[in-house]
Structure 1
Amino acid sequence: MNWTAIRAIYVFEMARFFRTLTQSLISPVLSTSLYFVVFGTAIGSRIETVEDVSYGAFIVPGLIMLSVMTQATSNASFGIYFPKFIGTIYELLSAPVNFLEITLGYVGAAATKALFIGVIIFVTAFFFVDITVQHPFAMIAFLLMTCVSFALLGFIIGIWAGNFEQLQLIPLLVITPLVFLGGSFYSVTMLPPIWQTITMFNPVVYLISGFRWAFFGTADVPVAISLAAIAFFMAACMAAIWWIFRTGWRIRQ
């Protein structure tokens, strides 16, 4: 394993994050604060509790997941797309590094950025609502796995994208709607039976459910299924990345 190469890619990507700190960090925190004001205060004043948890606290895991998923995907996709755009991807491909080392560098940096934002939003939530975490180690585990899995997805999107518009296509048109429809602001049990069944085909439901269980001890689906779903998602993304580098699909275009 070429740790020097991994470190070089990781440090370069993290440096870019701190150069654009306003866009990369402050913007998502402000957006999430607005969600707390609108959903936690305005709507929360009309909905007292959900599953014996105050509505303002109930939406915290969903808001963290919303930011983490979108930020991990966006950072990873831009990180690998930009070398393609300016042509430096050929220098990377000709260097003595394999696909795993390249992936670890870019995905590791994107996951770190998303994790950093998730922690900041978690701390910000304490200014709006009272939060208790029943299973802190499980919360950290779910947060880390979500950061890594969606950074892997973003890496694939960055390779697939042919222009800057396509970089935002999947996060805006697929991931964000799935998060909103995945129980971020409500419990799946509040839906009519037919919609509960349909919602179970949304993979984001399992991530948010497991993450919320770490906070409040309640979940819409069993925790074991949530862990299995995210593990399968990570394995599928890694298999896709291995195939991409093996065939050269979209990398040299």
Structure 2
Amino acid sequence: MNWAAIRSIYLYEMSRFFRTLLQSFVSPVISTSLYFVVFGAAIGSRIDQVEGVSYGAFIVPGLVMLTVMTQAISNASFGIYFPKFIGTIYELLSAPINFLEIVIGYVGAAATKALFIGIIILITSFFFVDITIQHPLAMVAFLVLTCISFALLGFIIGIWAKNFEQLQLVPLLIVTPLVFLGGSFYSISMLPPFWQGVSMFNPVVYLVSGFRWAFFGLSDVPVLASLGAIALFTGICVGVIGLIFKTGWRIRE
């Protein structure tokens, strides 16, 4: 394992993040505050509690997941797309490093950025609602695994994309709707039986449910099912990336 190459890629990507540190702080804090104003105050005034948890606290795991997923995808996709765009990807491909080291460098940096912003969102939420985390280690584990798995997805999107518009296509048209329909701001037990069954086909349900269990000890699906869903999704992404580098699809074009 070429740790020097991994470190170089990782630090280069992180330096780009810290150059816009103010934006990285201010933007998620403002967005979270607006969500709490709209969902917590407006809707929360009509919905007192969900399964014994105040509505303002209930939506915190969903807000964190929404931010973490989108940030992990956008950072990873842009991180690998930009070298393709300017042509420096060929320097990586010709260097004495394998695809695993490239992936660890880019995905590790994107996951770190998403984790950093997710923690900022979580800290911000404490200014609006009272939150007690029942299983802090499980919360950290779910947060880290989600950052890594969606950074892998973003890496795939960055390789697939042919222009900057396509970078935003999947996060805006697929991931964000899945998050909103995945029980982020409500419990799927509140839905009619038919739509509860449909929601089981939404992979985000398993991620949000497991993450919410770490906070409040309640979930819409079994915790082991949530862990299995994350492991399966991560494995599929790693397999797809390995196939991409093996065939050179959208990289050597």
TM normalised by structure 1 equals 0.99
Q: Does 1:227 align with 2:219?
A: no
Aligned to 1:210: 210
The 1-side partners of 2:155 and 2:120 are apart by 23
Aligned counterparts, 1:93-242, within 5 A: 93-242=93-242
Q: CA deviation at 1:28?
A: 2.2
Gapped regions of structure 2 (runs ≥ 5) = none
Letter in 1 for 2:58: F
2:71 maps to 71
Amino acid corresponding to residue 110 of structure 1 in structure 2 = A
SS of the residue 1:183 aligns to: coil
Q: State the identity as a percent.
A: 78
* 1:5 equivalenced with 2:29 (yes/no): no
1:37 aligns to 2:37 (yes or no):
yes
Amino acid at match of 2:161: A
Give the Cα separation in 1 of the matches to 2:227 and 2:196: 20
Distance of 1:76 and 1:24 partners within structure 2: 15
The Cα RMSD (Å) is 0.7
Q: Does 1:46 align with 2:33?
A: no
Separation of aligned partners in 1, 2:22 and 2:164: 20
State the AA in 2 paired with 1:42. Answer: A
| Partner SS state of residue 47, structure 1 | coil
How far did residue 139 of structure 1 move?
A: 0.2
Per-residue CA deviations over 1:9-55 (Å, capped at 9, x if unaligned) read 00000000011224433212211210011101111111100000000
Q: What per-residue deviation string (whole Å, max 9, x for no partner) do you get for residues 216-253 of structure 1?
A: 00000000000000000000000000000000000122
Unpaired segments of 5 or more residues in structure 1? Answer: none
CA distance in 1: counterparts of 2:3 and 2:29, whole angstroms: 33
CA distance in 2, matches of 1:14, 1:235: 25
Q: Residue deviations 1:148-200, cap 9 Å, x none?
A: 00000000000000000000000000000000000000000000000000010
TM-score (norm 2): 0.99
Cα distance in 2 for residues equivalent to 1:127 and 1:223: 28
What amino acid sits opposite 1:121 in the alignment?
I
4+ runs of 1 displaced by more than 4 Å? none
In structure 1, C-alpha distance between the alignment counterparts of 2:174 and 2:29, rounded to whole Å:
22
Length, aligned pairs only: 253
- Cα distance in structure 2, aligned partners of 1:46 and 1:8: 51
Cα shift readout 1:75-108 (whole Å, capped 9, x = no counterpart) = 0000000000000000010001100000000000
Letter in 1 for 2:65: M
